[in-house]
Amino acid sequence: MAELEALGRPAFLIVPSERHRLDASGYAQRFPNMTVVAPSGGKEKIADVVRVDTSTPDFGDPSVRYVEVVADSALEVDCEDGLTIIVNDLIGDIHDEGGIGGWLLRVMGFAGDDPHVPGPVKLTLGKHKREVAQQFRRWAERSDLRRIIVSHGDSIEVDPRGVLRKLAASLD
């Protein structure tokens, strides 16, 4: 917390989905003036543990955009070298975990040899897989896309457009 606070007071807390709300109330209590952002599709469950101020944040910076993807969310960030997409659970790129932990991650569908939509996430998407595939294709159309930062695993910097096309096809 000292390292975070050394950077300044956080202005926004993004609770990316209802699956990632556990620590949100602690941050909101510590930083009560912070705006709590959550996707409208997960807002009700997230509000069980923390207040939700908005699903349409204005970060005061046109280079940062909040995007809802079903009941999950992402950020699009225009950088000097192009577009960076930051996602939560929609894409995983865990592949180098060893031991029993790595084995469990693979068995449960969270780890694999290539970037993928984790198996449990696919299950929760249900009838919304097509919407996520469409969003992946929209991002893949961006010629300025340079990288995808994922919450779980390595950043994707080699052919992120091709990765998104492949992921979209895996959801069809």
Q: What is the pLDDT of residues 8-53, one digit of tens each?
A: 999 999 999 988 888 999 999 999 999 999 999 999 999 999 999 9
* pLDDT at residue 120 in the model: 87
* pLDDT at residue 107 in the model: 79
Do residues 49 and 113 both lie within one domain?
no
Pairwise CA distance, residues 4 & 25, whole Å: 17
Choose the final residue of a domain: 58, 80, 106: 58
Per-residue pLDDT reduced to its tens digit, 135-147: 999 999 999 999 9
Do residues 111 and 28 both lie within one domain?
no
Pairwise CA distance, residues 85 & 145, whole Å: 8
* pLDDT at residue 104 in the model: 83
Do residues 108 and 172 both lie within one domain?
yes
* pLDDT at residue 31 in the model: 95
* pLDDT at residue 97 in the model: 81
Do residues 89 and 161 both lie within one domain?
yes
Edge-to-edge order in the sheet of strand 145-150: 64-69, 72-79, 82-87, 145-150
Choose the final residue of a domain: 58, 88, 106: 58
* pLDDT at residue 16 in the model: 93
113 or 77, which is more confident: 77
Per-residue pLDDT reduced to its tens digit, 150-172: 988 899 999 999 999 999 999 98
Do residues 81 and 52 both lie within one domain?
no
Do residues 121 and 159 both lie within one domain?
yes
| Average per-residue pLDDT for the chain | 93
Domain count, the chain: 2
Q: Which domain holds residue 93?
A: 62-172
Q: Which of 19, 22, 24, 23 is nearest to 37 (CA)?
A: 24
* pLDDT at residue 117 in the model: 93
Do residues 34 and 92 both lie within one domain?
no
Do residues 75 and 54 both lie within one domain?
no
Do residues 68 and 48 both lie within one domain?
no
Choose the final residue of a domain: 40, 58, 76: 58
Per-residue pLDDT reduced to its tens digit, 50-103: 999 999 999 999 999 999 998 899 999 999 999 999 999 899 988 888 888 888
> Which CATH number belongs to the domain containing residue 123 in this structure?
3.60.15.10
53-81 per-residue burial string, b: 16 or more CB within 10 A, e: under 16: eebebebeeeebebbbbbbbbbbbbeeee
Helix, strand, coil tally for the chain in percent (to 5)? 35, 25, 40
Do residues 43 and 84 both lie within one domain?
no
